[in-house]
Amino acid sequence: MHKAQKFYSDPRLQEAKKLVLSALTEAQKEFSGVEAPKEAYLVEYETLLEDFLKTRGYPLYYPFIGSGLGKGALVELLDGSVKYDLISGIGVHYFGHSSPEIIQRTLDAAVNDTVMQGNLQQNHDSLVLSQLLCAVSGLDHCFLSSSGAMACENALKIAFQKKHPATRVLAFDRAFAGRTLALSQITDKPSFREGLPPTLVVDYLPFFDPKDPEESEKRTLTALKNHIRRYPKQHAVMIFELVQGEGGFWTATSDYFKNIIQLLKEHEIAVWIDEVQTFARTHELFAFQHFDLEGLVDIVSIGKVSPCCATLFRKEYCPRVGLLSQTFTAATSSIRVAKFTIEHTMQNGFFGPDGKIAKLHQAFTQGLARLHEQYGCVVGPYGLGTMIAFTPFDGTEEQAKAFVQKLFSNGVMSFVAGTHPTRVRFLLPVAAMGLEDLAPIFAIIEKTIQESLS
C-alpha cells in the first residue's frame, strides 16, 4: 500500500470529514427560503461594496458579497439576505451552494499533497478525469486546463497548427468565445475589443431563424460559400455554439448544423464545438450528442459545469510537442469535482427525454408561458435544457437590466443576455433543484413583473 493510501484511510481523517458534514447539515437547517437583508448588517455591507469598487476599479454587477454558506439553490449574503441563485455564477455552480457532495470531494482534495496540479506534476486524478472525458465524448484525446477561456485558446491553437497556413476563423453572428486577446476577436461584441490590437480575422455567418428555418439555412450556407470562395483555403476552423449563451439562448436544428458541417468537411475546415456553457445542460451530456453530431466534430472545449476545463480532440488533430502547456492544469478539488459531476449526472437520470434536465426545462418554460399569457410582457421562453431565457417588455437593454436588478432585490438571481433583444436568462443549478423549488421562484418572478408594470 502506498503511503498516501495509508494516510487517506486514516480513521481520524474519516471522522473529521463526518464532523464537518454533520456541522454543515446542522447549519443548513436554518435555510427555508428567501430572506430580506438584516438592518444590523447594512452599514457594514455598504462599506464592503465601496471597498470592492475602490479595489477593482468598477462596481460589482449586483450588490452581492456572499457569506460562504448556502443550501442548494439558496445562498446567503453578508447583508443577511438569502436569495435563489438561478444564474449559478454564470453556469458554474451546478450543485448550488454548500453541496455536501461537493464539500466531501473538496475535503478529500484539501489533504492532497498540492493545491494545483500542472504541467510537470500530474497526479492520478488528472489521468482518471482525462480518460473519463475521452470515454464519454467519443474523442481520442483530452488536454485539461484551468479555465474555459484556456480550453478555447487551446482549441484554436490545435486547429491552426493542423490547418497551417490557414489563419481565418468562421463564426456565427452573436458568437461569444471569451475575452482573451484572441477570443475577443471571435466574440461578436465590439466593446470587448475596444482598444485591443487585432489578432485574428473572423468571418461571420447569419444564424438560424426559427421563424424562417429554410430561408435562414439558405442564407447561412450562401454566406459560408461566399467566404470560402473569397478566401480559398484560408479558413482553419469554424466555432459552433450549439446554443448561443451570451447571444440570447438562440439555437437551431440538427439538420441545420449537419448541413453546415458537411460543407466545412468538403473544404477541409475544422469543426470546433464550444461547449463551455452547454456542457451537461442539454438533454445529453454534450450538446453535440443532443444534436446527433457524433463523428462529425473535430475539437470540443468544455468548462463551467466542469470546474476543471478541457479541450477534447480527434487523434488526427493531436498537436506537436510544445504547442500546449501551462503551469497549472487545475486545482485538485476542481479535478475531483469534475469527475464526480460527470459520473453523478450520468448515473442519476439527468439526461434523455425523461431525465431531470428535461423535466426542469418543461416545468420552467411552462411557468414562463403562463406568465406570458397572463401579462403579455414576458416573450418566450427561449433556450434548451436548463439554459432558459425570456424577453421582458420590448427587449431593450435598459428594461432587461432594470428587471434583473429588481428581481435580485426580490430574491432571485438571474442575468441578461443578447442585444436587440436583450433577454433575462437563467442557468439553473440542476443538481441542487427539484420541481418543488419552482413555485416560490415563480411567485417572486410574478411579483417582479407586477412591480415593473405598476
Ramachandran angles phi, psi of 349, nearest 5°: 70, 40
Question: Do 142 and 261 belong to one domain?
Answer: yes
Is 243:174 a contact under the CB 8 Å cutoff? Answer: no
Q: Are 427 and 94 in contact (CB under 8 A)?
A: no
Q: What would the grid cell of residue 200 be?
A: 485574428
> What is the enclosing helix (H) or strand (E) of 359?
helix 356-375
Strand partners, 331: 116
130 and 92 assigned to the same domain: no
> What is the mean predicted confidence (pLDDT) over 317-342?
95
Asked, for residue 5, whether it belongs to a domain, the answer is no
Domain ends where: 305, 324, 347? Answer: 347
Contact 129, 335 (CB under 8 A): yes
How would DSSP label each residue in 143-155?
EEESSHHHHHHHH
Q: Domain check: are 332 and 357 in the same one?
A: no
Confidence (pLDDT) at 148: 96
Domain co-membership, 372 together with 343: no
Could you tell me if 322 and 447 lie in one domain?
no
Asked if 179 and 77 sit in the same domain, the reply is no
What are 209-246's pLDDT values in tens digits? 999 999 999 999 999 999 999 999 999 999 999 999 99
The enclosing domain of 237 has a CATH number of 3.40.640.10
Residue 214 falls inside a structural domain? yes
Q: What is the arithmetic mean of pLDDT over 48-66?
A: 96
Residue 444: give its domain's CATH number: 3.90.1150.10
Lowest model confidence (mean pLDDT) among 19-33, 110-124, 144-158, 254-268: 110-124
Residue 430: give the domain boundaries: 10-99+352-453
Confidence category of residue 314, pLDDT binned at 50, 70, 90: very high
Q: Is residue 137 part of a domain?
A: yes
Considering the domain architecture, whether residues 341 and 399 belong to the same structural domain is answered as: no
Residue 1 scores a pLDDT above 80 = no
Q: Are residues 127 and 258 in the same domain?
A: yes
State which H helix or E strand residue 203 sits in.
Answer: strand 201-205
Is 239 domain-assigned?
yes
Decide if 3 is inside a domain.
no
Q: What is the pLDDT of residue 366?
A: 97
* Mean pLDDT value across residues 198-207: 96
Are residues 297 and 211 located together in one domain of the fold? yes
Nearest to 406 by CA among 62, 159, 160: 62
Cis omega (within 30 of 0) for bond into 421: yes
Tally of structural domains, the chain: 2
Q: Are residues 73 and 136 in the same domain?
A: no
Cell of 169: 476563423
Q: What is the pLDDT of residue 101?
A: 97
For the segment 284-300, the average pLDDT, to the nearest whole number, is: 98
Average pLDDT, rounded, for the chain: 96
In a domain? residue 385: yes
Residue 106 belongs to some domain of the structure: no
User: For residue 326, what pLDDT band results from cuts at 50, 70 and 90?
Assistant: confident
Confidence (pLDDT) at 91:
95
Together in a domain, 371 and 419: yes
Same-domain pairing of 272 and 227? yes
Final residue before a domain boundary, out of 307, 330, 347: 347
- What pTM does this model have? 0.96
Which of 297, 332, 347 represents a domain boundary (last residue)?
A: 347
Residue 379 forms part of a structural domain: yes
Local confidence band at 154 (pLDDT 50, 70, 90 cut-offs): very high
pLDDT in tens, 156-173: 999 999 999 999 999 999
- Calculate mean pLDDT across residues 52-77: 97
Beta strand ranges found along 246-395 (DSSP E): 250-251, 270-275, 299-302, 309-313, 328-331, 378-384, 387-392
